[in-house]
């Protein structure tokens, strides 16, 4: 079981107040326009939350996994697009936390802690689920690496100041030849391509990155040549827990929206909640949300205690993301035609929720991770 500490509860209050002041007023507009005002991220940054995992020695809050999970659940409840955008700074920071030298950590976290976004650049047009199949290369040339390739579906890639990017330093070794680099946005040869027009999470930005003879100093290599695949996998272990937390927030919001509507909506002189078919469905939603929340915080507690949590993070993502979609679907069903209109928040929640079982490893990938852990 988990219980938040007074400090965590204080932070939860602060995040809820932030959501009310900054996110609630722009959520609908951001969904319609695809623009998340920079002022909202600046305010998040000024609140000291721009990069939750940044170490104290570089000026970050260095929050533990349970606290990060709690914050991501709150953001998921508020707006999954904003949660996705704000979460990008954490995902791209894990490889630097795992393998970065003190100098690299300073270089990486400085922009992230001063109102800038960072991105995790792994996926490519021919390497999504099979992350080890990337073809972007990084060729050593004296004191530099020269990077060439294309990355796609990069969250916050169009607005990021810095990337942690994965490339092959030795093509002949496949995924064992993958390495991770810090690459700043303003490097000559780096440009953004297609901006994705997504079904939901419109507040987040998703783009293609094009790298044409991009030169970075050799000192931008994280860890050793060949460490990239492990760093990516370990980072995704952490990221998947975050996605699961967002999913719990999304599911809770879907249920709350539905309950509020069902209590007020009269049908043949009775409230919807007087119908057992409706109240039972709501009972099932509440059960599913609670079960998911326990899985997420169990995984977070293992991570915070520096225990093995890869399997638990995959289990949490698998369960919570499918659960969020199911709860959003059932909530919309109860809310009927109104739920299908743009006036109802559930319409946006349902569109947003669809990404959860897809990004940071589809749920089929989570099954591979879980099965490998169980069967090895
Ligand atoms: N921790 C540490 N090391 C790990 C690990 C983990 N969790 N998982 C794997 N590894 C290591 C393995 O030990 C292995 O090392 P050795 O070669 O030294 O033995 C190496 O990594 C390769 O592992 P596998 O042989 O298991 O790799 P695989 O090629 O079979 O692939 C996979 C495994 C689980 C399918 C992996 O490819 C995967 O996770 N795919 C999904 C990729 C993904 O999640 N992409 C999301 C992109 S990011 C995103 O969506 C963010 C965004 O912008 C929204």
pLDDT in tens, 280-291: 999 999 999 999
- pLDDT of 308 reads 97
Expressed in angstroms and rounded, the spacing between residue 176 Cα and the centre of ligand 1 is: 11
The DSSP 8-state label assigned to residue 209 in this structure reads E
Residue owning the nearest CA to atom 49 of ligand 1: 360
Among 131, 170, 177, 354, name the best residue to mutate to test ligand 1's pocket (greatest count of ligand atoms within 8 A of Cβ): 131
Expressed in angstroms and rounded, the spacing between residue 238 Cα and the centre of ligand 1 is: 12
- pLDDT of 257 reads 98
| Number of H-type helices and E-type strands within the chain | 12, 10
CA distances from 364 to 151, 313, 326 (A): 22, 14, 17
pTM score of the predicted model: 0.96
Cβ of 155 closer than 6 Å to ligand 1, yes or no, is yes
Among 132, 308, 359, name the best residue to mutate to test ligand 1's pocket (greatest count of ligand atoms within 8 A of Cβ): 132
Cβ of 162 closer than 6 Å to ligand 1, yes or no, is no
CA distances from 140 to 105, 168, 176 (A): 22, 11, 16
pLDDT at 333 over 60: yes
Cβ of 154 closer than 6 Å to ligand 1, yes or no, is yes
- pLDDT of 62 reads 97
Look at phi and psi of residue 228 and say left if phi exceeds 0, alpha if psi is from -120 to 50, else beta: alpha
Mean pLDDT, rounded, for 91-100: 98
pLDDT at 1 over 70: no
Burial of 103: CB neighbours in 10 Å, binned 0-12, 13-18, 19+: exposed
Q: How far apart are CA 268 and CA 339, in angstroms?
A: 19
| 360 in catalytic set | yes
Give pLDDT tens digits for 188-197: 999 999 999 9
Cβ of 233 closer than 6 Å to ligand 1, yes or no, is yes
Give pLDDT tens digits for 127-169: 999 999 999 999 999 999 999 999 999 999 999 999 999 999 9
Mean pLDDT, rounded, for 56-79: 97
Q: Which atom of ligand 1 is nearest to the CA of 237?
A: 7
pLDDT at 269 over 90: no
What structural domains does the chain harbor?
A: 6-113 (1.10.540.10), 117-225 (2.40.110.10), 230-375 (1.20.140.10)
């Amino acid at each position: 079981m988990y219980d938040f500490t007074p400090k965590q509860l204080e932070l939860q209050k602060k995040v809820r107040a932030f959501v009310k002041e900054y996110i609630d007023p722009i959520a609908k507009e951001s969904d319609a326009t695809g623009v998340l005002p920079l002022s909202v991220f600046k305010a998040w940054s000024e609140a000291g939350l721009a990069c939750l995992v940044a170490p104290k020695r570089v000026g970050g809050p260095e929050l533990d996994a349970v606290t990060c999970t709690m914050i991501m659940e709150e953001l998921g409840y508020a707006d999954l697009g904003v949660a996705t955008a704000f979460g990008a700074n954490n995902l791209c920071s894990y490889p630097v936390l795992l393998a970065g030298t003190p100098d690299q950590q300073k270089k990486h976290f400085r922009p992230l802690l001063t109102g800038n976004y960072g991105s995790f650049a792994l996926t490519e047009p021919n390497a999504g689920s099979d992350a080890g199949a990337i073809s972007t290369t990084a060729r050593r040339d004296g004191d530099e690496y020269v990077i060439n390739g294309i990355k796609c579906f990069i969250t916050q890639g169009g607005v990021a100041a810095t990337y942690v990017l994965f490339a092959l330093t030795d093509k002949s070794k496949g995924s064992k030849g993958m390495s991770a680099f810090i690459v700043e946005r303003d490097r000559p040869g780096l440009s953004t391509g297609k901006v994705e027009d997504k079904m939901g999470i419109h507040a987040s930005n998703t783009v293609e990155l094009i790298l044409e003879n991009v030169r970075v100093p050799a000192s931008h290599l994280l860890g050793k040549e060949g460490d990239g695949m492990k760093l990516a996998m370990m980072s995704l272990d952490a990221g998947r827990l975050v996605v699961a937390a967002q999913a719990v927030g999304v599911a809770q919001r879907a249920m709350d929206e539905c309950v509020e509507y069902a209590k007020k909506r009269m049908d043949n002189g009775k409230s919807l909640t007087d119908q057992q078919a409706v109240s039972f469905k709501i009972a099932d939603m509440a059960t599913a949300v609670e079960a998911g929340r326990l899985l997420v915080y169990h995984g977070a507690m293992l991570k915070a205690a520096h225990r093995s949590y890869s399997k638990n993070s995959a289990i949490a993502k698998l369960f919570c993301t499918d659960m969020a979609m199911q709860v959003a679907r059932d909530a919309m069903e109860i809310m009927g035609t109104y739920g299908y209109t743009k006036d109802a928040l559930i319409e946006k929640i349902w569109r947003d929720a669809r990404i959860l079982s897809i990004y940071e490893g589809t749920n089929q990938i989570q099954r591979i991770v879980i099965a490998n852990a169980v069967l090895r």
